[in-house]
Amino acid sequence: MAVTGWMESLRTAQKTALLQDGRRKVHYLFPDGKEMAEEYDEKTSELLVRKWRVKSALGAMGQWQLEVGEPAPLGAGNLGPELIKESNANPIFMRKDTKKSFQWRIRNLPYPKDVYSVCVDQKERCIIVKTTNKKYYKKFSIPDLDRHQLPLDDALLSFAHANCTLIISYQKPKEVVVAESELQKELKKVKTAHGNDGDCKTQ
């Protein structure tokens, strides 16, 4: 029922689409004023970016909040070489999904795999990452499961470590896979602008 409710919200949202640089960019405007912007690979339909924007209590537009995709370097253009180098050494957290899994990458974690603990916290509905040497701790949710009101399952969670990057995967429940497939069918109905004919209001 929850999945249907979320899909209905997507269907009824005002949508605009733009095909640019090999990406299909879709902008959603919901009745409550919230905005969501997504970018898909034109050929594979793989989700590359998802971000949200909401109005403040005074009605002003807020900043875009990234949910999926690689974050832009924060003010890198204004930093000196030393600060940039220091910043690049800090762990960088990002989400990059595959067709079958939600996936997160945490770069700049040089410790061996057996140092990491990755588990589901059922009470707080989140995933917790920590190290036995107490050098890193991260707690994050899976908004997709919250929107679909689906439970978190430890059995669907796995992780790997290579090249100083911790890769955490959570297999998508069948309900999510079906919903994403339905959404792609829905998006094909949206009239799409090309090139510089317009923008998707994602900036």
d(CA 168, CA 106): 8
In this predicted structure, the answer to whether residue 157 has a pLDDT above a threshold of 60 is yes
In this predicted structure, the answer to whether residue 186 has a pLDDT above a threshold of 70 is yes
Give the DSSP per-residue string, 128-153.
Answer: EEEETTSS-EEEE--HHHHHHT----
3-state secondary structure of 115: helix
59 belongs to a structural domain: yes
In this predicted structure, the answer to whether residue 178 has a pLDDT above a threshold of 60 is yes
**Rg of the chain's alpha carbons, rounded to an integer?**
19
Note the pLDDT tens digit of each residue in 100-149. 999 999 999 999 999 999 999 999 999 999 999 999 999 999 999 999 99
Residue 185 has a pLDDT of 92
Q: Which amino acid is at 26?
A: V
Which residues, in sequence order, are bridge partners of residue 182?
none
In this predicted structure, the answer to whether residue 203 has a pLDDT above a threshold of 50 is no
78 belongs to a structural domain: no
Residue 202 has a pLDDT of 42
Assign residue 143 the CATH number of its domain.
Answer: 2.60.40.790
d(CA 70, CA 54): 20
Quote the pTM value: 0.83
- 29-43, 67-81, 106-120: segment of lowest average pLDDT: 67-81
- Find the mean pLDDT for residues 141-164: 95
How many structural domains is the chain composed of?
A: 1
Question: Regarding beta strands 192-194 and 14-20, do their DSSP bridges make them parallel or antiparallel, or are they unpaired?
Answer: parallel
Note the pLDDT tens digit of each residue in 24-34. 999 999 998 99
Residue 194 has a pLDDT of 81
Which residues, in sequence order, are bridge partners of residue 120?
127
76 belongs to a structural domain: no
**What confidence tier does 191 reach under pLDDT thresholds 50, 70, 90?**
confident
98 belongs to a structural domain: yes
Residue 5 has a pLDDT of 85
**What confidence tier does 88 reach under pLDDT thresholds 50, 70, 90?**
low
Helix, strand, coil percentages in the chain from 3-state DSSP, rounded to 5:
25, 40, 35
- Percent of the chain past pLDDT 70, that is, above it, reads 86
75: tokens are: 């003010």
Residue 113 has a pLDDT of 95
48 belongs to a structural domain: yes
Is residue 52 exposed (0-12), middle (13-18) or buried (19+ Cβ within 10 Å)? Answer: middle
Domain carrying residue 54: 4-69+88-193
171 belongs to a structural domain: yes
83 belongs to a structural domain: no
134 belongs to a structural domain: yes
